[in-house]
Amino acid sequence: MLVVVLSVLMSFIVSVIVCAGAWLLSQRSKYDREKNSPFECGFDPKASARVPFSMRFFLLAVIFLIFDVEIALLLPFPFVGVGVFSIVSVSSVFGFLVVLLLGLLHEWREGSLDWIG
């Protein structure tokens, strides 16, 4: 019984010490202007919220998302088809890659992949 009481008392004392230390350390940075302002992905939160959004950034994000999904769709193919590489499965993966490559070439020719321009 004494061991249980000492364990609970020790846990309580350690918890109080950790909380007091955190409170004392937080008082030091309480008046820092940068830490008190919210961080909104690099945007100034005190400026206008109606700033035009870059369409190039949005298009590049969509292209990244498409190619990210492509990797997720193509990654299982070598693992599933280790022993069964049929003509149908290889041609379907090849067709999928051709469509994605044509899309990439179209975006490249259109200039969507150029960040500055």
Task: Tell me the per-residue pLDDT of 32-55, one tens digit each, with 9 for 90 and over.
Answer: 666 666 665 656 656 666 667 677
Helix, strand, coil distribution of the chain in percent, nearest 5: 70, 0, 30
pTM across the whole model:
0.47
Domain of 9: which CATH number? 1.20.58.1610
Count of structural domains within the chain: 1
The predicted structure's pLDDT at residue 46 = 63
Residue-number span of the structural domain to which 104 is assigned: 1-79+87-110
63-111: pLDDT as tens digits = 888 888 888 888 887 777 666 777 877 888 888 889 888 988 888 888 7
117 assigned to some structural domain: no
95 assigned to some structural domain: yes
115 assigned to some structural domain: no
1 assigned to some structural domain: yes
